[in-house]
């Protein structure tokens, strides 16, 4: 049996009490593994593996070699077991999804696939065929050089920070907000300051986000998603992106993150259809 733990960020603390409680809950995925099982963890986030782990530990890394697992080596990902020489698993060009976190996801998935007996030779083609999951930094449209991205699943600060890593500086019209989870929204400041040309704030967390991000980039209080999409699309220029990555829960205005993402895609579709009609 194989299991993986990719990352940890402040989320669901209302349920788990604190970050240590949340980590303990995540680590339970390894609790019933027996000898010979495979545990996959992110080497770039120390402390993810429980100290009493009984399975074989395999790691993945964006930053450097690991003794047992895989890592990025220039424009490729290589893998080795204990005492073995590294062998290429796939090229970065094989992965159609943008962003460092997507590469981390791919490396973890590949280690799990190998543990399940998947042939190494089929890995590049399998990655190339994968187009991502709905509402997880999913490109949903393009108009005059402006791309539109649905990352409604970005319901916490850590997820939004990772999503922004894949965009050029000052290129993102970022839609933020919803229902705050009570975490420190100022932790968005560095990533938003680097990537966002402007942020469009919606929902209950508007005031909290405005205070947390004051001076970081232009902030526009929009209230609702439809207003935010319209204003962001009007302001975006060729080469820029309109990104819904809210860093908040959706329950103030939507049933769940899926409903929010579906509404975003509907609004983008209406914009694109109107452009075709005018053309």
What distance in Å separates the CA atoms of residue 258 and residue 162, rounded to the nearest whole number? 19
Same domain, 168 and 269: yes
pLDDT, one tens digit per residue, over 32-84 is 898 889 999 999 999 999 988 989 999 999 999 999 999 999 999 999 999 99
Per-residue confidence (pLDDT) for residue 276, from 0 to 100: 61
pLDDT, residue 278, reads: 60
224 and 273 belong to one structural domain: yes
Phi-psi region of 124 (alpha: psi -120 to 50; beta: other; left: phi over 0): alpha
Provide the number of structural domains found in the chain.
Answer: 2
Q: Does 167 share its domain with 256? A: yes
Which of 70, 103, 129 is at the close of a domain?
129
User: Same domain for 148 and 258?
Assistant: yes
- The CATH number covering residue 274 comes to 3.90.190.20
Instruction: Residue count of the chain, please give it.
Output: 279
Would you state the structure tokens that stand for residue 15, as one six-digit string?
A: 């349920």
State residue 73's pLDDT score.
Answer: 98
Pair (104, 169) in one structural domain: no
Residues of the chain with pLDDT below 70 are 13, 276-279
125 with 142, same domain: the answer is: no
Residues 158 and 274 in one domain: yes
Q: pTM score, two decimals?
A: 0.86
261 and 185 fall within a common domain: yes
- For residue 262, the tally of other CB atoms under 10 A from its CB is 17
**Boundary residue ending a domain (97, 129, 161):** 129
Residue 247, token pair as written in the block? 């860093």
Do 125 and 167 fall within a single domain? no
Same domain flag for 113 and 8: yes
Beta carbons of 160 and 247 less than 8 angstroms apart: yes
Range(s) of the domain holding residue 181: 138-278
Do 97 and 8 belong to one domain? yes
Question: Any idea what the CATH number is for the domain that residue 69 is in?
Answer: 3.40.1190.10
d(CA 262, CA 219): 24
């Amino acid at each position: 049996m194989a299991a993986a733990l990719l990352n940890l960020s402040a989320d669901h603390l209302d349920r788990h009490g604190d970050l240590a409680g949340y980590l303990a809950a995540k680590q339970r995925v390894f609790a019933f593994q027996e000898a010979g099982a495979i545990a996959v963890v992110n080497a770039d986030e120390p402390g993810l593996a429980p100290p009493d782990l009984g399975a074989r530990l395999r790691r993945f890394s964006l930053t450097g070699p690991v003794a047992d697992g895989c890592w990025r080596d220039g424009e490729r990902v290589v893998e080795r077991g204990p005492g073995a020489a590294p062998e290429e698993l796939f090229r970065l060009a094989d992965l159609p999804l943008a962003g460092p976190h997507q590469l981390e996801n791919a490396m973890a998935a590949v280690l799990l696939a190998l543990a399940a007996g998947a042939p190494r030779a089929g890995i590049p083609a399998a990655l190339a065929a994968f187009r991502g999951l709905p509402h997880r930094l999913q490109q949903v449209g393009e108009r005059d050089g402006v791309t539109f991205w649905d990352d409604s699943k970005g319901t916490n600060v850590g997820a939004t920070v990772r999503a922004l890593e894949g965009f050029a500086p000052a290129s993102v019209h970022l839609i933020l907000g919803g229902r705050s989870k009570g975490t420190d929204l100022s932790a968005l400041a560095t990533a938003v300051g680097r990537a966002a040309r402007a942020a469009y704030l919606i929902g209950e967390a508007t005031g909290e986000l405005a205070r947390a991000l004051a001076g970081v980039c232009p902030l526009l209080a929009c209230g609702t998603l439809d207003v935010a999409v319209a204003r962001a699309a009007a302001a975006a220029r060729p080469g820029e992106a309109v990104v819904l990555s809210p860093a908040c829960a959706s329950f103030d205005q939507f049933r769940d993150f899926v409903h929010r993402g579906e509404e975003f895609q509907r609004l983008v579709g209406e914009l694109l259809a109107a452009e075709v009609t005018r053309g």
